[in-house]
Amino acid sequence: MRPRRPVAVIGLIAGLIAMPVPAVAGTGEPTPTRAELLGKSTAAEWRTPDPDNLLVMQLATGRVLIELAPDFTPLHAANIRTLARQHYFDGLAIVRVQDNFVTQWGDPASDDHGDKSKLRSLGKARSTLPPEYTRPIDPELEWTALPDGDVYAPEVGFSEGFPAARDPASGQEWLTHCYGMVGVGRNNGPETGNGSELYVVIGQAPRRLDRNLAIAGRVLEGMPLLSGLPRGEGPMGFYDKPAERTPIESVRLASELPPTQRPAVQVLRTNSATFAALLDAQRHRHDAFYKISSGKVGLCSVDIPVRETKPAR
């Protein structure tokens, strides 16, 4: 991306997710709606993100929440935490919005046309990191398999609340470039992505990027603030003029904020019965509008639910 590119829980799910079938005409009662299914969820099926893994990015237009994924990219998560604690991102900008691809932010001076003498110091953060594009499959990590097949990987599913893929032959697993996933920009060298420049997928999933860039996490709240920005008219969607960029007011870890100011959000557990029911309803949708169900669901077509809760007092 120029200049910085961008114990398995199958037993529970097996009885709840129907295997893929050919598209058929819907019969019987309409499938339950998303709201109906979530309304029946239990408190135990929701998890509260670790405040040390939750980034709060403040723009003039509102708040963006990003959950880091240290189980998959621990070194990048640690470096991003260091940058956030140093207030590195404060006053930087969104420098690129490429239609149907990504929104990218970081130091404008890192652009090919930027003044390198004005580059902001990384402080105590590392300037280079090992790629962390994949990791060995960990049987201790939650894994909810999606049995519908995939073009890009032998196996796909959800791990710890993130869309992911696996290759049993190589013994590797990795996060995937679905809508709302946050990646680490880099130069050509795989080690050059350090988390000081990040991007979020705002279009159809560019899965060709999988295993070519590190994925740092996922946006939980505020996607319209990032996907709805004017598109850059320069090459690859970069803004030609500084005035076109969107300033970043601040980026903080939720753990740095007073308890009463921390975001009060929860994420539906991807190994829960309610999540399985949501997948099944999406796979076999039938109602007054949908007469033909596909019988399948794609990894990146699944929206993992996030809800607001009451803030701490």
Is the pTM here over 0.95, yes or no?
no
3 state SS of 116:
helix
DSSP secondary structure string for all residues of 261-310:
GS--EEEE-TTSHHHHHHHHHHHT--SSS--EE-S---GGG----EEE-P
What pLDDT digit, counting tens, does each position of 83-127 carry? 999 999 999 999 999 999 999 999 999 865 656 778 999 999 999
What's the one-letter identity of residue 149? G
Q: Where are the domains of the chain?
A: 49-115+125-266
Q: What are the DSSP E strand ranges found in 40-148?
A: 46-47, 54-59, 62-68, 93-97, 102-106, 135-136, 144-146
Q: Which of 81, 53, 51 is nearest to 261 (CA)?
A: 51
Q: How many CA atoms lie within 13 A of 4 on its CB side?
A: 28
β-bridge partners, 145: 157
What's the one-letter identity of residue 40? K
Residues 6+ apart with CB under 8 A from 289: none
| DSSP conformational letter for 48 | P
What's the one-letter identity of residue 212? N
What pLDDT digit, counting tens, does each position of 178-212 carry? 999 999 999 999 999 999 999 999 999 999 999 99
Helical H segments across 86-237, by residue range: 223-227
Q: Greatest CA span in the chain, whole angstroms?
A: 67
Q: Is the pLDDT of residue 10 over 60?
A: no
What CATH architecture does domain 49-115+125-266 belong to? Beta Barrel (2.40)
What pLDDT digit, counting tens, does each position of 227-270 carry? 999 999 999 999 999 999 999 999 999 999 999 999 999 999 99
Rounded CA separation 100/201 (Å): 8
